[in-house]
Amino acid sequence: MELVFATHNRHKLAEITALAGSKFIIKSLADIGFEGDIPETADSFLGNARQKVQTIYQYKPCNCFADDTGLVVEALDGRPGVFSARYAGENATYQDNVKKLLQELEGISNRKASFITIVALILNGKEHFFEGRIDGEIITEQRGDKGFGYDPIFVPHKHRLTFAEMNDDEKNGMSHRGIAIKKMFDFLSH
Ligand code: ITT
């Protein structure tokens, strides 16, 4: 079965392609010739995931999905949340965002945080949603150079390594995105 993944994020594309195995063929936006921007202006993960997948469906009706993810930090009342990509400003890099978060948490002992992913799927014109979440904590210094985004400062609950110190299989096996995508693949397999 072919599915178009509505993302401009190459790290996400690599993670999901690894999870797809041989049953699902994941097509990128480049594969369908989509080069435009995908708006994500909603105030919830679900709203943004929906906006992304609908943008692609309107461009080309097909079976497609999108993921919206954010890091929710308890001591910061849930920030950066839906603003995770632009926490340090509109054109912020991953490093800018990580540094800003570490600064905001300086001197704060409650380091609890969760990654939350909502996947929106359009299958034969009908929408479906899947959620994945992993709890953990934000450490005080960056460790590891794999993964992307906030991975170097996030250690999942009951683990010692950051996501940026894990290989793809390890991260995928427990991550927010891995959980949500596996739910979608299970749904599609039945
Ligand atoms: P698309 O919307 O094109 O899929 P994006 O990078 O904008 O790509 P999101 O809005 O879902 O994706 O993610 C917002 C930010 O959250 C992203 O820029 C990263 O900084 C962070 N993020 C998302 N998934 C992550 C992960 O698995 N590990 C670490 N940080 C992640």
Where do the domains of the chain lie?
2-188
CA distance 186 to 183: 5
142-184 pLDDT, tens digit per residue, is 999 999 999 999 999 999 999 999 999 999 999 999 999 999 9
Q: What is the pLDDT of residue 21?
A: 86
Q: Which of 143, 134, 147, 148 is nearest to 177 (CA)?
A: 134
CA distances in angstroms from 78 to 46, 64, 84, listed in the order given: 16, 29, 10
* Cα 9 to ligand 1 centroid, rounded to whole Å: 7
- Cα(155) to centroid(ligand 1), Å: 17
Quick one: which atom of ligand 1 is closest to the CA of 70? Answer: 16
Domain 2-188, CATH: 3.90.950.10
Going from the Cα of 117 to the center of ligand 1, the distance in angstroms, rounded, reads 9
Which tens digit of pLDDT belongs to each residue from 66-96?
999 999 999 999 999 999 999 999 999 999 9
Q: Which of 64, 69, 179 to mutate to test the pocket of ligand 1 (most atoms within 8 A of CB)?
A: 69
Positive/negative CA dihedral, 87, 93, 96, 97: positive
Report d(CA 54, CA 78) in Å as an integer.
26
